[in-house]
Each structure stands twice: as structure tokens, then as C-alpha cells.
Structure 1
Amino acid sequence: MSKPPQDRFDDIPRTSGRVGAHRAEQPGMNGLVVLLWSAAVALVLIVGGIFISLVMMDRISFSPESQPPAPQQTQGTDPKIDTSYRVLILNATPEEGLVVEARDALLAEGWPADGVFGSEGSSQEFDKTTVFYVDKADEAAALGVAEVLGGAEVQQSDFYADLNDSEQPQLTVVIGLDRVTDATPKAEDTEEAPAE
């Protein structure tokens, strides 16, 4: 038998091993790494969700809290006790009972019981007791309320205007820290009784 003639493919060395596509596991896809990445992504999503919830519930605010403007001195208007005004009393101090005291003072001057109402306690402390009024026409009545309360400041501002839910004009009294009584006991009160 004769040998076939040699061609260029006869010079290629034969390799041993498998030839073709093989289905093998990807190297580097470790189960622990996948678990750690999943935990990290879940943590970021949870923290982001909590932060967004707090912002939407106004627990976190990026703008400064709105404060009433500084009191303006009123001149040339005489105080007038006008019981046709409703009076809202807000206690901006940690001491309780100041709303009741202010309400009693106004009721004693003739205000109707349903025309004076208030709220104890506030998240913000206020330095000086102030009577707020909205329109210039309300200034005399605000001065009258300030006089009844014993020398409160008076200021024109629409900061509390949204708290009026009636057609009747309303003044707002914010009780400040100047009305807080000093609860420090005096020296003679702290003396101990003699032992028997």
C-alpha cells in the first residue's frame, strides 16, 4: 500500500486533552462574596428608606425653622380692652399652669369663657411674653391684652394667623420665660428641723 503524500497539515503537532466547549463553574463566584455584597446593598437601601421617611415626616429639615420676627415697638396707640377679640394663649415655657393664670386674668376683665383658650407646653422656649396681632387695626386691642397680662410686649405679625379658625378677630399671646417663677428654695426654707 502506498502512503498518501504529505501536506502542510501533517506538520501540526497533535495535542492531547479535550477539545470543544465545556460547561464549568465560573471561577471567582464565591458564595461568601455574593452574600456580603447582598447584605451591603440591603443595608444601603434600608438606611436610605429610613432617611427619606424621616424627611417626609418632617423629623429632619434642611431649612432653618421659621421664627417670629423680632418685636417692633408700638408708639402712639392707646391700649383698649376689647373683649370681642378671641385670645389664643400659647405656653412656650417648661412650666405648667401659666396658661390658666393668663386666662383667668383675661376672664376677670370680661372676656367670655369660650373666647379665651390655650395650650400648655411648647417645643421651643420664648424669651419674653408677647401679644401678636395681624392688622394695624388690632394694635389697640393687643396693647389692652398686654396691659391686662401685666406688661407683655406687643408685635404685629401674621405668623400665628393660620391658627384662627373663625371669622372673629384673634390675638395670640405667647408666654415667655420672663413669666417663669424661680423655684429655687430660700435659705430659711432649707434649714433642717432640730433632732429630738
Structure 2
Amino acid sequence: MSQYPRDEFDKVPETSTRQGVHRERLIPARSSGIGLIITVGVLALLVGLAAYVVLPRLGIGADGNATPVAAETEATDSASPSAPATPSSPPSPSAVPSSSPEPTPVESTPAADKTQPVVVLNASGISGLGAGISARIGAEGWITSSVGNWAGAPLQGSVIFYNGEAQRANAEELSALLGIPTLSESPEFATVTVVAGPGFQ
């Protein structure tokens, strides 16, 4: 016990938890501080929830995330400027280029008519050349109306004469068959006329 004499403050029972009038315990003697820990934890949770929900709606802290998204959107837009706003909607028929262009009209040349008679004239001075040419074109289905000698001005080479566009196809076919490149349109000849000149092979 104490060496001091007992006074009125010593009348407190020995089993009482009171320590003195001037001291008051913040935490009851039987408590281990769990209530204070729970209170602090709940407050921390509320502050975190407020920061997660409220601050982005106020625009605080959202700049860091918004800038890359905007930059990515701008990069996508610049990469495909002609992309439609709604990719699921089909393009209008006027915007789709035609895959098959309209065919350009081609002038059809009339086919050769082998039933039209051909005149063969010899201007080379070689005997029998006209008859040989007649036999040669006859083997290809052509009809020879007459074979004779050339009575006109001397020629430098072989010529095929024709009268008008109706006979042009026949003249071109005989030109390819006989190897005579020179064609001459002349109204003086009623039918296609092959004139074999000097050097005809």
C-alpha cells in the first residue's frame, strides 16, 4: 500500500476501473480497439468509392485517359478518310463503280463472199501466170470469171483492184491469200480484179 495517509479519493472500491477524476480512458478497458479500426476502414472505403465514382464525372483525373482515345480516333479517321460513317449500311448504287464497262461499238467488216467472180490478169510477161493464179484461188473456193493479159499502163508490181466497200472484204482476203499488199479502189472495175505484175511469186 501507499505510504501516504488515505483521503476522500481513496474511497473508490478496489475493483473499480476508474483511475482518477482527472483521467478518462478513451477506450473502455475491455475493448481491444476493434471498433476504431472498423470505423477507420469504413471511412477509407467511402473516400475510395467517392474518388472512383464522383471524380471522373466531375472531369478530374479523366484527361489522362481521354487523350489517347481521342488521338487514336483521329489517327483512324485520317487513315481512312473515305470510310463511310456507318459501315453496316450498304453504299448507294450511284457510289458503286460499274464493274463491267459498256462495250464500245466495233464496226463489223463484212465477210468475204467467195461466190462473187474474180478477174485475173497477167501483167508480168510470164506465160501461163494468170492460169496458175486462177487455179490457186480456185483451190480456196473462189470463182474466176475470166483470165487474160493486162492491157493498161505498165505496172511496177502486183495490184488488186476493187469497186466500193462491198468488194473490199473480198480484195483483202485475196491480198492475204496471194501475198499482194497493194489494194486500189477504182470504179473502172466492175468486180475484184487481180493483176499480177513483175516480181509476182
- Shorter chain as denominator, the TM-score bin is 0.3 to 0.5
Q: Which of the pair has more CA radius of gyration?
A: 2
Q: What TM-score does the superposition give when structure 2 sets the normalisation length?
A: 0.41
